[in-house]
Every structure is written in structure tokens, then in C-alpha cells.
Amino acid sequence: MLEKETLLDSTLAFGAEFVAPVTQDADLQGKFPKSAYDALKQKGYMGLLVPKEYGGLGGGNFEHTQVCYALAQYCATTALCYMMHNTSVAGLCASGSDELKQEFLPKVAKGEIAFALAFSESGSGTHFGEPDITEELSGEDRILNGRKSFVTSAQNADYYLTYTNSCINQGAKNIWLVHKDSNNLLHEENVWNGLGMRGNASKPVQYNGVRVSEHLRVGKEGDGESATGVVLMHFITGLAAVYSGLAKAAYDCALEHTKTRQYTNKTSLSDVELVKIHLADMYAKVQSGIALALDAASSFDKGADDAVVKIFASRINATHNVLDVCTLAMRLGGGKAYSKLLPLERYMRDALASQVMAPSLDVLKVWLGNAITK
């Protein structure tokens, strides 16, 4: 049974048992880590953010960040897919009607259903706050038309949190829970072939006249932008945690390699002073990444005035750190790293996604700059 007090340690143990075995197939075959995802359901992780009155753990952004950090040390793809579920749950908890929460949250807590985000579109790219997807009224239902460019965990999650333009309030937005098997919902196949994060099952999804019931709207009519704020904060801290965990994995691998790589004179690579300097730099960056991510998440949970700027900064910091750490790790790994005898090459490829995943590094810097200067 999950407990907040021991969450980080228990998740590291969970990752060693259930996540590590799927990592290689997720990368080499571009295969969704289904067994790890199923284990997350069975062990109660899907209910991490579900309030206790609905059967969940009642965790906040802090616990979300801890778990994503721990999982990513074994498989960044698994951590990313899990993170997407949590961000969706956070949105439902914050803005869903009592009826909607009563219908869905107990099932989430039991691991019976999982969520994914359907926000990104080709027309807006990393600025996913401006969707093109449209609605039209049909009795008491809505008909959705448009295309989402990347839906992580597509067809493995049960419902997609779908961001749309309101057909009632001009310029306003809505969020809907759309089942993956809805009529007129089309998943485009063989599109995702990522350099890294290869197993995340990211697919474009077409909404070709998808009908959704009014009660499946998350939040009041036209209030989707407000609900998106909560989703975004968990999304950004979650990514900071994922990439901090990936940096930790790269550091651990490089450290072990340098300590066990021996020369004929019986000295180790780690005995070289310059290597020690590199390892010290990597260690500091790893600690900086997760420390700021956890502090930002805690600030959000406490409603601190500086929570948003810390959250933006945590993702920026984690992105720079993971790229620096993986680059140094590849250098220290030498021929073993480049010949893929060590997993450092995979870590490097996974890390490169940190720059471009919405909101991208450049977009986040603009947001942070605006936030701290206004």
C-alpha cells in the first residue's frame, strides 16, 4: 500500500521490479511499456492525486514530482506516460463537477481507467493554449471536429482530456473527457518514430464528428482555460521531475563506469582528477534539478505567490541539466557509451526531447521572463 511518507523509496523499489525490465523493449522496439503501466494501475499509483474521499492517496504536486522522478531513473518513457495521466487527473480534481468526479475518480483510484492529454495541435505547436478543434451543438451533446497532433499513451489510456474551442462563448475554451473508442475518433498509425522517448505511443488523433455528452465537460462552459492552468502546472513540474530522474540515471551510470573502468596499472578512471571534476559537476546538476522541482511543486501545493515562476524555472533548469549531464556522461563513457554497451546513448536521445516537448524550452523562457518582469 502506498504511503506519502515512504513514497520515494517505495517507487524506486517498484521501478526496479516492474519498470526496469521493459526499458530496453520500449526503446529498441518503440513499444509502449504496457506491463509497467499495468503494474502502476495495480499498485495504486494511478490514484496518487485522487482525493481520499474517492479512494485515492490524496497526494499533491509534490508527490507527483517524487514519483515521476523515481520512475524516470528506470525508464523515462514510462515516467512520461504516467505523468500525462496524473496531469489529467489533476485537471479533473480541480475543475470537474461533483457528478463527474464521483463517476470517474473511484475508477481511477482502483486502476480501472487511465487518462491522457489531447492538447497539442499542429496549428499551434508548442503554444498549445490556442487549439483549432471546434465544437457544434447537437441537442444536449457536442460534436467535435479537428485533429490533435500528439496524444501520448494513445489507445493505452482510456479517456483523453481534450481541449477545444467553445461554440457558445466566443474565444473561450472547454475540456472534455473523450473515450478512446468513441465513434468517429481515428488514431493515425505509424507516425511516431521518435529519436528518444520511443515507447510513448504518441499518435495523432482525428476527431471526425465525435459526439460527447454535456456531462463529460470538465468545468463550467467556457472555463477550460482555468482548468488548463492546473493541468499545465502539474505537466511542467512532471517534466522537470522526469528529466531530473533521467539525469540521475545518466550520472549513476557514468559514476559506476568510471569506478570500475581500470587501467593496466590498477588505477581507475575515477582516479583521474579531471574525471572527478566532471563527476562533481554532474552531481551538482542532478541535485539542483530535483531540488528545484520538488521546491516548485511544494510551493504550488501551498499556494505560494512564487509557485508559477518556480515551476517554469524548474523545467528550464532540468532541461539544461539533463543535456549537460548526459553529454558529460557520454564523454566519460567513451567507447562503451558510443558502442551502446552502456545505456548512456539512450539517455542522451531521451534527454534531447526535453528541449522541444511542449511547452518548449524557448517558450518557457519567454513565459518566465514575462512572469518575473511584469
Asked if the structure places residue 24 within a domain, the reply is: yes
Domain boundary pick from 171, 193, 222:
222
- With respect to residue 1, please indicate whether it lies within any of the assigned structural domains: no
Residue 335 sits in a domain whose CATH number is 1.20.140.10
Cis peptide before 359, with omega less than 30 degrees from 0? yes
| Residue 179 half-sphere exposure toward CB, CA atoms < 13 A | 9
> Are residues 101 and 36 both part of a single domain?
yes
The confidence score (pLDDT) of residue 72 equals 98
Cell digits for 132? 483549432
> Same structural domain for residues 188 and 236?
no
Domain boundary among 113, 133, 151: 113
Which of 47, 81, 75 has its CA nearest to residue 156?
81
Looking at this protein, which amino acid is placed at residue 235? F
Q: Domain residues for 216?
A: 117-222
3-state secondary structure of 325: helix
Domain boundary among 177, 197, 222: 222
CA-closest candidate to residue 64, choices 77, 52, 82: 82
Domain total in the chain: 3
Does residue 15 sit in the same domain as residue 34?
yes
If asked whether residues 235 and 351 sit together in one domain, one would say yes
The C-alpha cell at 280 is 562533481
Q: Could you read off the pLDDT tens digit of each residue along the chain, which spans 374 residues?
A: 899 999 999 999 999 999 999 999 999 999 999 999 999 999 999 999 999 999 999 999 999 999 999 999 999 999 999 999 999 999 999 999 999 999 999 999 999 999 999 999 988 776 767 899 999 999 999 999 999 999 999 999 999 999 999 999 999 999 999 999 999 999 999 999 999 999 999 999 999 999 999 999 999 999 999 989 999 999 999 999 999 999 999 999 999 999 999 999 999 999 999 999 999 999 999 999 999 999 999 999 999 999 999 999 999 999 999 999 999 999 999 999 999 999 999 999 999 999 999 899 999 999 999 999 98
What global pTM score does this model have?
Answer: 0.97
229 and 361 share one domain: yes
Is residue 79 one of the residues assigned to a domain?
yes
In the 8-state DSSP scheme, what is residue 348?
H
The grid coordinates of residue 112 equal 480501472
pLDDT reported for residue 126: 67
With respect to residue 277, please indicate whether it lies within any of the assigned structural domains. Answer: yes
Alpha-helical (H) ranges within the chain are 7-14, 23-28, 34-42, 61-72, 76-95, 98-109, 224-260, 273-301, 307-338, 344-356, 361-373
